């Protein structure tokens, strides 16, 4: 049975996550490692793959436990995760993404360790597939669900028992680091000082409305000295590259891949665009807000949760001509873009990493105490 640790005692939390790539959830975990360490948590991470967020995670004092797996359905995953749990003997487990939510939840239940499910998206991310049904089934045994958005929390209404605590902890930002960044383009990116820049950063997946954005950009980049930069990786990137090349726009729509120094490029941008069909709490959007950049965003609940008409330009994600018109409007009226960007920046001041870590510390300790008392 779990026991409640005394206040001065260091407590172990094991995060189970597929990898430490360039995604928003991975970045959030890396951000939290150091502050949680200072709040008396020994942070352990079980992951299959390393990635660009690993250095910050390790610098924050977290200990990485690698899982050797050939693919997502490798039968060794559950056994190796069980062995890590035996070695670490965590007081609490937190799981990230469907693969680890199912496996980590099962392992936590097997060892009778309190566990928390991390909800990083919203209803649109979960069609009625077998793996999503399995996710809901195991979530019914969780000891808490932490979402990064109201929409993510609402997804669980009626899917898990009311006894399971559910809270929203917004994604955090390293505000001082973002403020210190100076506008700049990465080396080798073909931008000249007079170029007006439209920036997208995110996963090249259908949910991000890449096709609609690309259709809009074909119009926008016909303007003199206007370019678009689409940062990221994903299953649609190769197709996008072919479409851009086929349209003869390879010098106007640039694909640098994953960019690990995004804030300088973001501050160099004249407008940041996010026109996905659904989101949780999109890191690119909140980072653009912290950078004070003009934003063109899809009119979806996730964006409405953090922005309003005073802080962004709104579009229907299914209206590619409307997306193009909004981007052109921002480029032609930079003063209004700056005004809305500054309004968005003011909103971002609440999302500091220490504040988020304190909220996680609170729910962690509540879960452990509740399980110890039951």
Residues 106-145 pLDDT 10s = 999 999 999 999 999 999 999 999 999 999 999 999 999 9
pLDDT reported for residue 231: 97
Domain boundaries defined on the chain:
11-172+352-373, 175-348
Residue 109 CA neighbour count, 13 Å, CB half? 15
Number of residues written out for the chain? 374
CA proximity to 295, closest of 352, 303, 161, 256: 303
CATH topology of 11-172+352-373 equal to that of 175-348? yes
Pairing of strands 271-274, 253-257: unpaired
Burial of 245 (0-12, 13-18, 19+ CB in 10 A): exposed
CATH of domain 175-348: 3.40.50.2000
Give residues with Cβ within 8 angstroms of 86, minimum separation 6: 111
Residue 358 in contact with residue 315, Cβ under 8 Å?
no
**What's the pLDDT score for residue 5?**
62
Name the stretches of the chain with pLDDT < 50: none
Identify whether the C-beta of residue 98 lies closer than 8 Å to the C-beta of residue 131.
yes
* Tokens of residue 251, six digits: 């010098």
pLDDT for residue 74: 84
Q: Pick from 64, 51, 98, 66: which is nearest to 258 by CA?
A: 51
For position 179, what pLDDT does the model report? 97
- Contact (CB, 8 A) for 47 and 69: no
Of the CATH numbers 1.10.357.10, 3.40.50.300, 3.50.50.60, 3.40.50.2000, which one belongs to the domain with range 11-172+352-373? 3.40.50.2000
Euclidean distance between CA atoms 63 and 46, whole angstroms: 9
Q: State residue 7's pLDDT score.
A: 56
Entry pTM: 0.92
């Amino acid at each position: 049975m779990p026991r409640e640790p005394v206040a001065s005692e260091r407590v172990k939390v094991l995060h189970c996550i597929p990898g430490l790539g360039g995604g928003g959830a991975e970045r959030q975990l890396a951000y939290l490692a150091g502050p949680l360490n200072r709040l008396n948590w020994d942070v352990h991470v079980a992951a299959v793959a390393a990635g660009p967020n690993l250095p910050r995670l390790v610098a924050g004092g977290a200990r990485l436990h690698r899982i050797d797996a050939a693919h997502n359905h490798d039968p060794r995953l559950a056994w190796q995760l069980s062995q890590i749990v035996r070695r670490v003997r965590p007081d609490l487990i937190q799981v990230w993404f469907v693969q680890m939510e199912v496996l980590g939840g099962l392992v936590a239940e097997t060892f009778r360790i309190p566990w928390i499910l991390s909800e990083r998206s919203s209803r649109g991310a979960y069609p009625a597939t077998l793996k999503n049904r399995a996710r809901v089934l195991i979530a019914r045994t969780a000891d808490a669900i932490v979402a990064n958005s109201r929409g993510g929390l609402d997804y669980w209404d009626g899917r898990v028992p009311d006894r399971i605590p559910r809270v929203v902890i917004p994604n955090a930002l390293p505000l001082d680091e973002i403020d210190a960044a100076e506008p700049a383009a990465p080396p080798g990116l073909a931008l000249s000082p007079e170029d007006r820049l439209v920036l997208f950063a995110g996963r090249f997946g259908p949910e991000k409305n890449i096709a609609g954005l690309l259709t809009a950009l074909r119009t926008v980049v016909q303007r003199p000295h206007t370019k678009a930069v689409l940062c990221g990786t994903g299953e649609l990137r190769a197709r996008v590259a072919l479409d851009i090349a086929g349209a003869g726009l390879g010098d106007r729509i640039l694909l640098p891949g994953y960019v690990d120094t995004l804030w300088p490029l973001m501050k160099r941008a004249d407008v940041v665009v996010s026109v996905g069909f659904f989101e949780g709490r999109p890191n690119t959007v909140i980072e653009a807000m912290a950078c004070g950049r003009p934003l063109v965003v899809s009119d979806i609940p996730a964006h409405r949760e953090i922005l309003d008409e005073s802080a962004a330009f709104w579009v229907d994600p299914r209206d590619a001509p409307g997306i193009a018109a909004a981007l052109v409007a921002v480029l032609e009226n930079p003063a209004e873009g700056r005004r809305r960007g500054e309004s968005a920046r003011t909103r971002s001041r609440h999302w500091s990493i220490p504040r988020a870590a304190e909220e996680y510390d609170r729910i962690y300790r509540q879960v452990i105490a509740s399980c110890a008392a039951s």
